[in-house]
Amino acid sequence: MPLKKQTFNDDEIDIYDEAVVYKRGEYWQMRMWLGKEKKYARFSLRTRNRDTAIDKAKKYYHELMAQQLAGKTYFSKTTKQGVQEYLKQRALDVEAEYIVKGRYGTIKTHLEHWLEFIGRDTKLKELERTDCENYFFARTKTLKKLSVSQSTVENEQSTINAMMAWLYKRNEAHIEGFDFKQLKRIDKGAEENRRATFTDDEIKAILQIIKTYTKEEMFVGRLKRKYRKYIPEAITFSLQQVGVPYDDEYLYNNGKYYCSELIYDAFLHSYKKPLFDLFPMTFKSPKSNQYFEVWADYYEKLKMEIPEGQLGCNPGGISTSDKLNIIGSIQ
């Protein structure tokens, strides 16, 4: 039975005619009446700041209204349905030989454990980043006293967040991943095999190979120390994307990855907010304001319009980030 539209309470702030923001605990929430669905949409604005909450609410109001006018529904799929959709995509990856069948089975098992933890009927759009804080405890402190290693749970967490990022890009969830608790490094065997740097001989070998690709001077940058703790999770996220098609179109957020886009999303995942910036892309010569011939030919072969002005990233743009130190060059 559809809910009836409510009147606003005194402690709620009106956002246009059909929506309000209000505080629940420390965080601001939004409630908006969706006339076509005869229900309220409710979700966290994920901010403690009143003005930020109002700005976000206005943005979401217009987005939701646009979706309603386009005939789209707001109300969420369940976690079970989200897992099923994601597994369908990964099954296609198996057919395309992007991943092996064994990897698909591992992903399916990981997500089955997550469904047991989070609940199969939980709404995807009601999930919060903190909902899986106790996932490790739940997986390792089972009643059956089964032995589940930390590395196993860490792999499961990576799979879960890879799925959430996939669902988030398709507007099926309001979060792109969970903030799992940072775990102690208790897997000594794995730690003994871990190393922080390449050897001098390995670096020389890498440089020799790089030089076969270009004679231009190349610059080497490194994340500043305060950001290096985000590298391991960024690597884990990147490995989860093995099998995702290469993005020949160089369009951000289209279900495929080009090199810099993967780096951007990997650190977006680990840092929980953009570590690097997206900029309007240009394929034009600064001198003539005409498209470079190589790009005009490239997109003509793809039979698509050049994505001039669309947000994206590239190695040169990332190299200007204040999160990096340029430590030298290769000639």
φ, ψ of residue 120 in degrees (nearest 5): -80, -20
d(CA 100, CA 114): 22
Q: Which of 178, 223, 249 is nearest to 323 (CA)?
A: 223
What percentage of the chain reaches a pLDDT higher than 90? Answer: 30
Radius of gyration of the chain measured on its C-alpha atoms? 23
133 found inside a domain? yes
Q: Within this chain, do residues 259 and 323 fall inside the same structural domain, yes or no?
A: yes
Q: Within this chain, do residues 58 and 92 fall inside the same structural domain, yes or no?
A: no
CA angle 105, 106, 108 (to 5 degrees): 65
Lowest mean pLDDT among 1-5, 88-92, 154-158, 303-307: 1-5
Q: What is the pLDDT of residue 1?
A: 39
The domain tally of the chain equals 3
Q: Within this chain, do residues 164 and 94 fall inside the same structural domain, yes or no?
A: yes
d(CA 149, CA 140): 7
- DSSP 3-state of 234: helix
Q: Within this chain, do residues 120 and 146 fall inside the same structural domain, yes or no?
A: yes
Task: Determine the average pLDDT of the residues in 86-102.
Answer: 85
| Contact between residue 241 and residue 262 where contact means Cβ atoms under 8 Å apart | yes
Average pLDDT along the chain = 83
Using one digit for the tens of pLDDT, what is the confidence trace for 263-298?
999 999 889 889 999 989 999 988 888 999 999 999
Task: Determine the average pLDDT of the residues in 150-169.
Answer: 88
- DSSP 3-state of 39: strand
Contacts of 176 (CB under 8 A, 6+ apart): 161, 164, 165, 168, 169, 268, 269
54 found inside a domain? yes
Cα 113 from chain centroid (whole Å): 21
Task: Say yes or no to pLDDT of 49 above 50.
Answer: yes
Q: What region does 183 belong to: left with phi over 0, alpha with psi -120 to 50, or beta? A: beta
- DSSP 3-state of 18: coil
d(CA 28, CA 22): 6
Q: Within this chain, do residues 320 and 245 fall inside the same structural domain, yes or no?
A: yes
Tokens of 189: 């065997």
289 found inside a domain? no
Q: Within this chain, do residues 137 and 218 fall inside the same structural domain, yes or no?
A: no
Task: Say yes or no to pLDDT of 170 above 50.
Answer: yes
| Contact between residue 194 and residue 147 where contact means Cβ atoms under 8 Å apart | no
The four Cα atoms 101, 106, 107, 110 give a dihedral, to 10 degrees, of 160
Count of positions (residues) in the chain? 331
pTM of the model: 0.44
146 found inside a domain? yes
Q: Within this chain, do residues 53 and 131 fall inside the same structural domain, yes or no?
A: no
User: Domain containing 31: what range?
Assistant: 13-69
Using one digit for the tens of pLDDT, what is the confidence trace for 295-329?
999 999 988 899 999 999 988 889 999 999 888 77
d(CA 156, CA 150): 10
